[in-house]
Amino acid sequence: MNRSRSVLVTCVIGVLLVVSACTGSPSSPGASGGAVATTPASVTPTPPATQEAPEATPTAAPTAPTSATPAATLDPTSYALAERGPYHVGYRAGLTATDASRGDRSVSVTVWYPAELPPGFSGDTAAVNAEPDRGGAPYPVILSSTVIARRLAPLVVSHGFVWVSVDGIDTYMAANPEMIQQPRDILFALDMVASSPPAGLQGMADTDHAGVTGYSFDGYNTYALSGARIDPEYYLAQCPTPDATTEAILGDQMSAFGCGPAKDWDAFAAKAGAAITMSDDGLWQPMTDPRIRAVMPMAGEGWWLFGERGLAAADRPTLIIAATGDDLYAENALMFDHLGTQDKAFISFVGPDHMMILDPEMQARIAHFAAAFFGYHLQGREDLAWFFSEGFVSGHEELGWGAPAGQ
C-alpha cells in the first residue's frame, strides 16, 4: 500500500466535509460519451410533452414501461427537477435513540419533510419545526448522512419526499469499523422513523418505500446498502499487495480503504457480529433491508471490500453519479461494471473533480437526478424516467452516459 496516496485522497475527502461543516446548515440547501450503462429496467424514454403528471402517490417500484414521457409541465431539455417542486420544506433536528443491539450506540437524525409555509417565511430555505403538509402523505423516504442532506434535501424534498439523515457520521482517514457501523446507523434511522416517528410527523413517511444516497464516504454506505456483500477472501488477498485489477483503479492517489482491518480481521469482523459475517459461501450477509428499493451512490468507493463476487450480489436499482476528474472515478466505473443488478445506470459529469459537490449549480443538477430517479422508483412516476435516461444525458454536453471513452 502506498501510504502517501491514502493520506492524500482521504485529506481531499476531509476537506470536502470540513467545508461542508463550515458552510452547510439544515436551512441551506442546497460531453456525452460511450454508452456502457443500461437504461433503468430497459426503459426507452421519449420526451413528447403530451402527458399530464400523475399525482406522487406511494407505490411499489413500477413495472418497466416500454416508453416514458416527461409531464407536459416539465421541460424535457432542461434540469427541470433542479427547480423547487410544489412543496415547501421543513426539518427537525437532533432526534436521538440508542441501538441496544450495538452496545447502545447513539444515533441522531434530522428529518426533512414537505411542510406548510410558516407566516412571514419566504420558503427559499427549509423551515425548522414547520407544520407538515399532509396533502400527499405518506411520502417515500430517502436516507443518507446529514452531510449530504444539507446540500440536497431542501430541494429534493420539495418534490414530495421525506429525507431522513444521520447526524455525526462523517469521513474517516483509514478503513475502520465505521465501515460497518455507518450503514447500520442508516438502517437504524429507518427503523426509528418507522416505529417512533417524531411527534407531529406521524403518517408522513412511507418507510416501506425507501431509497439511499450518499457522496464520498457516504457513497460507500450507499453501495453497502445496495445488497452488495463484503468478500473477506478478496479483501485480505489485496493486502499488502493489490492485484492488477485493484492496482489499475488507484492512479496517483488511493482511497481510504487500506489494509488496516487486515491486521486483525477477526477483531474487525467481531464488530459486525455473526449475523452479518456467517454464511455458506464465504461472503458476509448484505447490510440492507427489503424496504430499501433503490440506491444512488455518488463518488463512492469500496471495490477492495466487495470485489467482483460481493458486487454481483447487489440487486437494487442503482444510479451512480461521478465526475470524470475525480480520483475515485475509475473505481466507480469498475464497480458499475460488476454490479449484479441489471437495472443500473452511470451518469458522468465530464470535467469536474471530487469537489464538485461544493458547487451550488452542481448540487442542483445532482438534486435533479435524485428527484427523478427516486421519483420513478419510489413514487411510481413513470414520466420521470426520461430525466435520468440516456436520451436526456445525450442532450447535455457536460454529461456522459456511462464512462466516456478515455476516462
pLDDT tens string 221-231: 999 999 999 99
Q: Does any domain span residue 406?
A: no
Question: At 87, which amino acid appears?
Answer: Y
Is 129 a member of any domain? yes
Is residue 407 assigned to a domain?
no
Strand duo 162-166 + 105-115: pairing: antiparallel
Report the predicted TM-score, pTM, of the whole model to 2 decimal places: 0.84
Phi and psi angles of residue 332, each rounded to the nearest 5 degrees, phi first: -65, -40
At 396 the pLDDT is 97
43 φ/ψ angles, rounded to the nearest 5 degrees = -70, 140
- In terms of C-beta density within 10 A (0-12 exposed, 13-18 middle, 19 or more buried), how is residue 273 classed? middle
* Residue 257 confidence (pLDDT): 64
Q: Which three cell numbers, joined as nine digits, stand for 189? A: 434511522
H or E element, residue 221: helix 217-224
End-to-end, the C-alpha distance of the chain in Å comes to 24
> Are 212 and 142 a contacting pair, CB within 8 Å?
yes
> Does residue 9 form part of some domain?
yes
Question: Is 20 within the bounds of a domain?
Answer: yes
Which regions of 313-398 does DSSP assign to beta strands (E)?
318-323, 344-349
CB 285, CB 278: distance < 8 Å: yes
Cell digits of residue 290: 427489503
Contact 77, 102 (CB under 8 A): no
Residue type, 145: S
Q: What counts of helices (H) and strands (E) characterise the chain? A: 12, 10
Torsional sign, CA 178, 183, 187, 190: positive
Which residues, 6+ apart, have CB-to-CB distance to 255 below 8 Å?
6, 9, 10, 301, 304, 327, 328, 331
Q: Which residue segment(s) compose the domain that 74 sits in?
A: 3-401
Q: What is the pLDDT of residue 87?
A: 96
Measured distance CA(293)–CA(203) in Å, rounded? 20
Q: How far is residue 183's CA from residue 220's CA, in Å, rounded to a whole number?
A: 9
- How far apart CA 322 and CA 256 sit, in angstroms, is 17
Residue segments in the chain with a per-residue pLDDT below the cut of 70:
1-72, 251-257, 404-407
Residue 23 lies in a domain: yes
- Cis peptide leading into residue 177 (ω within 30°): no
CATH label of the domain that carries residue 154 = 3.40.50.1820
Spatial distance between the Cα atoms of 228 and 241, rounded to a whole number of angstroms:
23
How many domains does the chain divide into? 1
Per-residue pLDDT tens digits for 334-355: 999 999 999 999 999 999 999 9
Handedness of CA 330, 288, 45, 80 (dihedral sign): negative
Give, as one character, the DSSP assignment of residue 198: P
Q: At a CB cut-off of 8 Å and minimum separation 6, what does 202 contact?
A: none
CB neighbour list of residue 26: distance below 8 Å, 6 or more residues apart: 91, 93, 110, 112, 126, 128, 146, 149, 150
In a domain, 61, yes or no: yes
Q: Is 229 in a helix, a strand, or coil?
A: coil
